Structures are given as structure tokens and as C-alpha cells.
Structure 1
């Protein structure tokens, strides 16, 4: 005959709190590694990195640096055209141009290596 088992009603809350604490600690460790691995030009990318726990979900990344994905993944060759003007010009250019054939940029992974770092408990 099977016996009924009862669980302390507060156990779920304790378990959720322990999981959130563990995720917070893990997130801070991943964040530290991502900041260490992030390429630095102006430090905007590195300074934008955050870790947050919401329920049982951990997010680590940049919330407000619009080029974070392009640094992590790189870009393929692409054409740059003006948005609001008829031509592109930058200091040092010989003359304005209608478009620029950009060769792309290599990936500089910082988040994936930080995430995949082997960690001991």
C-alpha cells in the first residue's frame, strides 16, 4: 500500500529562493568573465554588460549597446549608404561618396566564451 507524502508548503519558496541565489551567483561569475573578455575601444560595450535574474531565468548581456551583437558575432561584407543625405563623408575622406563597400568585421566573442567557461560549484 502506497503511503501519502506531504511536502512542507514553505519548501517551494525556499527552493525558489535557493535557485534565484544560485542563478545570481552564476550570473555574476559569467558577467565578470564577459567584462574581462570584451574588447575595449571606448569601454561602452564592457560597461553596458549586466546580469539579471527574473524568476528562474538568468540573462547576461548588454541592454543598451546597439553593436554588442555585431562584436560578438562579427558582420559579413555589406554596403553602407547615406540615410539622410545624398553622400557619405568623414574626416580624412578625399571627397563625399554615394556608398562604401565595407568588408565586414571579424567576430570578437566575449559572451559565449564567458558562458561556456567550465565552473566548479
Structure 2
């Protein structure tokens, strides 16, 4: 037995799946991610978006470059100046040529939002 769906029915089905992903699942994941994200300035939480294209849901930040570093953490690394000869910041004793950063611990917010048990 072969089941065929005509092209207009397939378009309606695809549209319904896209709407369900965006309006139900995407909103739920986005709401949870915004709740779980660490909030220092609130910029990362405000940058989170959910979008659907061709039955694929994507949730995350497009314009905050440190979003992945918050989610996954960073390993120890060296920070060097880009445009000057030394680094300086408020309360620093003196400018320095390099900083040995110890790394940051992961603070997952997207994965816990994704893995929530959902009904509907």
C-alpha cells in the first residue's frame, strides 16, 4: 500500500508543523531559557530568539558573541591586548602585557530548557 499526499495538503501540513514548532515548542523553550540564563546585565536573556524555517526550530542568540561561552564554559586561556601594548581595567594596579585567565565554568541555560519534559 502506498500513501500519497498531494502537494497542497503537504504545504498545509508543513505550515501546521512550522506554526506548532514556533508557537508551542519554540515559545516554551525560549521562556525556559530566558528563566535559566544567568543575568548580569540582562543582555544575553534579551538577545534570545526562537525561529523556524522548513520545520527546523532554532533557539539561541544571534547577536551576543559570548552566548556559547556562558552555556559551555571556557578553558584556561591567555588574554592579550589587540590595539594597545598593555591591558588595563578599573581597579588594576598597573597595565599588564597579558592575563592568564583561569577559564569559566559552564552555566547551561539552553540545554536545560531544551530537555524539559513537555506535553502538548
| 1:52-91 pair list within 5 angstroms | 52-91=51-90
Equivalenced residue count is 119
CA distance in 2, matches of 1:17, 1:5: 20
Residue of structure 2 equivalent to 1:35: 34
Deviation at 1:7, TM superposition (A): 4.1
Residue of structure 2 equivalent to 1:120: 119
4+ aligned runs moved over 2 Å, structure 1: 4-10
CA distance in 1, matches of 2:79, 2:32: 33
Gaps of 5+ in 2: none
Report the CA distance shift for 1:10/1:41 in structure 2 as closer, same or farther (over 3 A). same
Report the CA distance shift for 1:40/1:7 in structure 2 as closer, same or farther (over 3 A). closer
Residue of structure 2 equivalent to 1:12: 10
